[in-house]
Amino acid sequence: MEEEFSPKPCPSTVTVRRNPPRKARATPYTTTAAAAKPLPSSNNSHEVPSFPIDEILSIQIPQPKPSVPESLKIFLRIKPLRIFTNKATTVTAKSRPRNVWPQNPSKKAKESRPKKSEEACITLNDAYSVTLTPPQALQELKRSKTEVFEGFSHVFPANCSQNDVYDKMVEPLLEDFLRGKSGMLAALGPSGSGKTHTVFGTVKDPGVVPITLRRIFKKGDEASSYSVSLRLFYLSIFEICSERGKGEKAYDLLGDGSSELSVQQSTIRGLKEVPIRNLGEAESLIGQAMLKRATATTNSNSQSSRSQCIINIRAASDGVSNETKMQSSDAMLTIVDLAGAEREKRTGNQGERLVESNFINNTSMVFGQCLRSLLEYQKNRKKGLQKHHQNSLLTRYLRDYLEGKKRMALIITVKAGEEDYLDTSYLLKQASPYMKIKFDNIEEVCNKRQLKTVPRVEKNKKMKLSAPKTSQVAEIVVGERNQVTQEVNLEGKKADQTEKPSPKLEDNNEREHIIMRNFAKVVWNVLKQYNEKLKVAEGDICSLKESLKNEQLKSQGLETELISLKSSCLFSKSNLAEPCLPEVEALVHAKEQLEVDTSLAIAYTNVDDDLCELGESRREVTAEGCNESPVPNKNVVPGLGNGEIFCDEQKCAKQDDLFNLIDSRKEVTAEGCNKSPVPNKNVVPGLENEEISCEEEKCAKQDDPCNLIDSRKEVTTEGFNVSPVPNKNVVPGIGNEEISCDEHECGKQGDPTPSPEQVEVSLINNRLSNIQTKSAVSRRFPDSVKQERLRRLLPASSRLLAEEMDDLDIKDDQIEKPQVKLAETHDQEESDSSKSREIEILAREAETKKQKKEQKKPRRRLQPASSVLLTREINTLEIEDDVAEPKGTRGGKKTTMTQPRSQGSVTLLRLLTNNLHL
Ligand SMILES: Nc1ncnc2c1ncn2[C@@H]1O[C@H](COP(=O)(O)OP(=O)(O)OP(=O)(O)O)[C@@H](O)[C@H]1O
């Protein structure tokens, strides 16, 4: 046992087997032959049975019969000669007075006369041919001769019965009809030749239609080979007649009430199809139709048909045929009773009858044309089939038959009397060629066009089921209920015949099933509609979401643009005057460091002893300066936002603060430089100096930054013009070369404190670099364009901010400009000639800008308090740059005063300068 379960030892070598090379397959014959031979390696242990291909090939598959085109079957029925009686034939009027033709008294008298025996003009040769012999009078005139007409499918002699006619002519059609093939039988012939007799017959001697219906139900009872028991048969009968010769109309012979049918092209709508369940119902319907049909009494026929009558028997398929095991389709058996062609001489019709006769003859003519054209078409298909069928409603309705697409048969009824020779001869000559007409086996293709009548029952099926309306549901249910009732009745009848127990239960279940099915259809349609609406709503939601996203993106883009504009507005506003560019950046830089500097300044105040000393010394100096002036010095400190400072007392009171200290220092410096014994009313063109007393013209121009700058230049130039000596008025604006010179002179003359040249040089370097960068930025757009863009794009708050920044720029201009000019003054020291040239250039520029200012009146704008405070703070910071700047008066009179500075103050200044301009 252990050996059995012990694993086998692994082989020392492992063989990897590759797939063998592929070879082409041998042919079946070789394969079969090889398979037949026993393989040597198999040793008959597992023999694979050979594929029985020979057996399979030997099986004979029943080939479908080739569809041999059938010829048109034409039957001939000879009406028996009149039976003469001694009694006068009485013409009974029809029940309907409209069909009653007034009797001709003369003809009536002729008919009442006894006639001699009539000789027949047509004799039967065999079952397929006849001989037509003209009357003696015509033979003498040699106008006609004896003719033989042969090739008929069958010739019914005068003494044949209706059953013989049915058996020979209708039975094959019925067989095909029950197998699902449609067919048509039409009766042609002169008036009174026995067409209606052949088709309908009488109660005692029924025609082919009653016999056919009888056979249908008889076959259904006898055998199930035709699946008759599984089929429903419907009967519809209608007629086509002419109303006063104006047009063709169709009337339903089985309808209730108004029997007129709607005719559209070849479609007849509203035809009632009555299901026939038994022979009695069918015969009753036939009798009803016969009573409704329009007939009239003529000389040829006492009950002459005045219309074309069409009888349709439809077999509705209901499953699979037992014979063919294939889905059977609806079949239609159509029997047409045409109105007989009439000759006026024979009929003696007048008036309305004559009009009817014309319609009848016309229809017969069109029918014959269709058959002839079909024959010609089949002989030579290159010509094409002429569409004669369009000329009458009947031929339109029977189009498929008249085009050779469906099986059709004709029965020609003739009268055998000598006096009927012409009619018979004419008809036989016309109809004998029709025997060559062939019919193609294209039954299945033509099924859809077979029935061009729209039954009334189908109306309910056409109703829309889109809305769950109760009425529609009810109509559908009613329609289905009718159908079910019909089915139920038919099945009930069968059940009675086969004695099956209680079919009502199954009927009820079937009815409920149909009702629920239709209700489910309606609900399904409603759900479909809601689903579509839901999809539409979802699409709308998606589109709205997308639009919302787009709007958000747009808003973000606008925000970024606004931010960029805000940031650029600083530069753009400073670009109003190109020299103002560096000041903007310096201003921003100063703003950022404002808080830091403030804290630093406070720290210096608290910690540095020199700072305290400096403050005290400054107070003293200030007091001295104040005392030195006999009148209150109304000179304004050239700082920012100092317009409200008018007296030295206020300044002295503010000197405790570091910034006030700086301001006061500046004032002192200016006063030292100016040292005017008279009240100095020169205006310092600082920012927000509306309240500063100044010359009206200059003050008006100070509001606008550009004007302000220009005005400063003007002041400077005026100072040059007025004063023969260098103007030492302190105008802390831009382009004050003289001020810088004075400042420089002051620094040289009496200022003991070392001039902060290093600090100023560094400041100048920094701002020159800023000027370069910002001038590069400012070249992107013109100043006016930038201003306009800013005013248009920025909101109100941003505009206020921009205006504030404008003011700040102006102040910065006022601060920084002298520094730039300071560098120029250094160059002036080297060259006095270049100085004078520059002064001239500046004067010219000032004049040109003055002219521009006159053209553009500046607007006075009020600035918010926040901007005032901000500018003040910045001014206090920047004032250090202007420490050495001299103050001057516009009047040209100047007083210079040197400001001694201590070592501590100088150190403090350096510290402050370094901190402020890091
Ligand atoms: N084969 C027949 N055997 C006996 N009677 C016949 C036969 N054929 C016709 N008749 C009789 O002849 C009369 C006229 O026949 P029928 O009305 O059928 O002619 P029709 O061709 O229909 O004429 P119309 O075209 O005017 O309607 C009828 O009374 C009918 O009973």
With a cut of 90, say whether residue 710 has pLDDT above it: no
Enumerate long-range contacts of 424-430, CB under 8 Å, 24 or more apart.
424/121, 424/122, 424/132, 424/190, 425/132, 425/134, 425/144, 425/147, 427/188, 427/189, 427/190, 427/341, 428/76, 428/130, 428/132, 428/147, 428/149, 429/147, 430/368
Query: Whose Cα sits closest to atom 16 in ligand 1?
Result: 194
Query: In terms of residues, how long is the chain?
Result: 918
Q: What's the first-to-final CA gap in the chain, in angstroms?
A: 99
- Dist. CA 300 → ligand 1 center (Å): 10
pLDDT of residue 553: 93
pLDDT tens, position by position, 36-61: 444 444 455 566 777 777 777 777 66
CA of 249 to the centre of ligand 1 (A): 25
Residue 541 has pLDDT above 90, yes or no: yes
**φ, ψ dihedrals at 350, nearest 5°:** -140, 160
Relative to the CA of 189, which ligand 1 atom is closest? 21
Instruction: Provide the β-strand partners of residue 206.
Output: 201
| pLDDT greater at residue 473 or residue 142 | 142
Alpha-carbon distance of 719 to 721, in angstroms, equals: 5
Give the mean model confidence (pLDDT) for residues 83-108.
46
295 lines ligand 1 (CB under 6 A): no
- The answer, yes or no, to whether any atom of ligand 1 lies below 6 A from the CB of 195, is yes
Please state, in angstroms and rounded to a whole number, the distance separating the CA atoms of residues 443 and 466: 36
The mean per-residue pLDDT over the stretch 728-739 comes to 41
Closest ligand 1 atom, residue 198 Cα: 18
Measured from the Cα of 360, ligand 1's closest atom is 25
With a threshold of 0.85, tell me whether the complex ipTM lies above it: yes
Domain residue ranges in the chain: 115-454, 463-552, 575-916
CB 182 less than 6 A from any atom of ligand 1: no
Q: What is the reported pLDDT for 735? A: 41
Q: Quick check: 488 pLDDT over 50?
A: no
Quick check: 304 and 295 in contact, CB under 8 A? yes
CA quadruple 554, 560, 565, 566: dihedral sign: positive
pLDDT tens sequence across 103-155? 555 555 555 554 555 678 888 888 899 998 888 877 777 777 888 998 899 99
Is the pLDDT higher at 176 or at 790? 176
CATH architecture of the domain covering 115-454: 3-Layer(aba) Sandwich (3.40)
Ligand 1 pocket member 201 (CB < 6 A)? no
What pLDDT score does 479 carry? 47
> Residue 199 pLDDT > 80, yes or no?
yes
Whether the per-residue pLDDT at 889 is higher than 50: the answer is no
Out of 175-179, 448-452, 641-645, which region has the weakest mean confidence (pLDDT)? 641-645
Please report which confidence band the pLDDT of residue 331 belongs to, taking 50, 70 and 90 as the band edges: confident
Statement: residue 609 has pLDDT above 80: no
Q: What is the mean pLDDT of residues 354-369?
A: 83
Mean pLDDT of the chain: 65
Alpha carbon separation from 169 to 95, 147, 156, 175 (Å, rounded): 33, 25, 10, 11
Binding positions for ATP are: 189-196
**Nearest atom in ligand 1 to 337's CA:** 22
Going by C-alpha positions, the residue among 556, 569, 552, 588 that lies closest to residue 793 is 569
Q: Which of 881, 882, 873, 887 is nearest to 917 (CA)?
A: 881
Report how far residue 773's alpha carbon sits from residue 628's, in angstroms, rounded to the nearest whole number.
Answer: 46
Looking at residues 737-759, what average pLDDT do you find? 44
Give distance in angstroms: CA of 188 to centre of ligand 1: 12
Q: What percent of the chain has pLDDT over 90?
A: 11
Q: Ligand 1 centroid vs 75 CA: distance in angstroms?
A: 16
- The strand pair at 267-271 and 453-455 is best described as parallel
* In contact, 901 and 617? CB cutoff 8 Å: no
Handedness of CA 711, 717, 719, 721 (dihedral sign): negative
Binding-site residue positions: 189-196
| Alpha carbon distance 608, 661 (integer Å) | 15
Cβ neighbours of residue 117 closer than 8 Å, sequence gap 6 or more:
84
Q: What is the pLDDT of residue 540?
A: 93
Whether the CB-CB separation of 717 and 846 falls below 8 Å is answered with yes
**Range with the poorest average pLDDT among 173-182, 230-239, 371-380, 878-887:** 878-887
pLDDT at 887 over 80: no
Q: State the amino acid at position 133 in one-letter form.
A: T
Q: How far is the CA of 290 from the centre of ligand 1 (A)?
A: 14
Integer Cα distance of 349 and 850 in angstroms? 123
